[in-house]
């Protein structure tokens, strides 16, 4: 299912990319966009994870750098039946985390400094289990490629300002200006279509991995508060990557809840509380 979702997503995002190319330059523009999209899809499959980690200045951690955190991720990965992912630290005060990589064998999990400083170890375990759930579900390829292509669509749409009067443009200046706003919005809607249900599923499976749904529920409450109070400047510069984080890192610019890439945090916490009340759980050794 992971590969099928990836194929559908790539097809949808590529079609949108071609549409923007056609609107800006007619058939020639669409052909250029097709060649560019093909190369970009191939490049992002192999390199998008490195690009996203680079955007956030993530530094890879060995066990000697932070033994308790490295060991925690290893134990959680074993519980999930996953290979040990690479572990990264982002020097960012906002508590947050994300996972990336094209498959479980090439996965990475990244946590911010603020997450490790603000959370108890139980809460950190809940968050990292959530990220490993994304790896287990093979969401990470979808998330990373979506971020890359959505950013490229926004960039291409901005060219409408410069090429709106191009004689090959079938829409003219007004149409090109409309495309400036509609294309990024359409890309955002594609992200939203998969993000909300994916987060609920990662919460559920992450709670099963760590064994304590309330650890993740407690972490989500702190994460939301931290994201509201602390800027994440790298995320504000790269809003197409916001859906990759466990909590929306954007708060400096007001975003209507209708267009949020994340489900309501209170609803996520309520689902985890119901899960905790309906089944037993086993405590992990990292407490």
**Helices 172-210, 67-80: inter-axial angle, 10-degree rounding:** 90
Q: What is the pLDDT of residues 229-246, one digit of tens each?
A: 999 999 988 887 888 899
Q: Give a yes or no: residue 87 inside a domain.
A: yes
- According to the annotation, is 251 in a ligand binding site? no
Domain extent for 196? 2-278
Q: Is 255's pLDDT higher than 50?
A: no
Q: How far apart are CA 268 and CA 264, in angstroms?
A: 6
pLDDT tens sequence across 73-95: 999 999 999 999 999 999 999 99
Tell whether residue 130 is among the known ligand binding residues: yes
Let me know if residue 142 belongs to a domain.
yes
Q: How many CB atoms lie within 10 A of CB 239?
A: 20
Cβ atoms within 10 A of the Cβ of 161, count? 11
Flag whether 34 is in a domain: yes
| Across 15-44, average pLDDT | 74
Q: How many domains does the chain have?
A: 1
Examine residue 97 and state whether it is found in any structural domain, yes or no: yes
Residue 284 in domain? no
Q: Within a domain: residue 287?
A: no
What is the per-residue pLDDT across 105-156, written as a single tens digit (0 to 9) for each?
999 999 999 999 999 999 999 999 999 999 999 888 777 666 666 666 766 6
Q: Do the domain assignments include residue 99?
A: yes
Is 134 one of the annotated binding-site residues? yes
pTM: 0.79
Could you give the residue numbers annotated as active site? Answer: 131
Q: How many helices (H) and strands (E) does the chain have?
A: 10, 4
* Domain assignment present for 181: yes
């Amino acid at each position: 299912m992971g590969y099928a979702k990836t194929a559908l997503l790539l097809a949808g995002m590529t079609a949108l990319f071609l549409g923007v190319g056609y609107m800006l330059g007619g058939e020639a523009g669409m052909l250029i966009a097709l060649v560019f999209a093909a190369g970009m899809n191939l490049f992002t499959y192999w390199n998008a994870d490195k690009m996203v980690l680079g955007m956030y200045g993530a530094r890879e951690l060995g066990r000697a750098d932070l033994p308790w955190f490295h060991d925690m991720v290893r134990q959680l990965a074993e519980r999930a039946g996953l290979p040990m992912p690479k572990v990264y630290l982002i020097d960012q005060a906002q508590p947050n985390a994300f996972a990336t990589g094209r498959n479980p064998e090439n996965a990475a999990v990244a946590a911010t400094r603020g997450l490790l400083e603000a959370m108890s170890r139980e809460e950190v375990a809940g968050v990292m289990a959530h990220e490993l759930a994304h790896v287990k579900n093979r969401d990470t390829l979808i998330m990373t490629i979506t971020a890359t292509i959505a950013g490229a669509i926004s960039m291409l749409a901005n060219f409408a300002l410069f090429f709106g009067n191009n004689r090959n443009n079938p829409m003219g200046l007004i149409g090109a200006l409309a495309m400036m706003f509609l294309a990024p919005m359409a890309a955002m809607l594609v992200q939203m279509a998969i993000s909300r249900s994916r987060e609920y599923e990662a919460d559920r499976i992450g709670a099963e991995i760590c064994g304590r749904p309330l650890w993740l529920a407690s972490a989500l409450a702190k994460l939301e508060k931290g994201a509201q109070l602390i800027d994440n400047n790298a995320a504000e510069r790269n809003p197409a990557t916001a859906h990759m984080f466990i909590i929306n890192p954007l708060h400096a610019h007001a975003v209507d809840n209708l267009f949020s890439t994340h489900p309501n945090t209170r609803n996520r916490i309520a689902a985890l509380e119901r899960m905790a009340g309906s089944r037993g759980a086993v405590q992990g050794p990292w407490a």
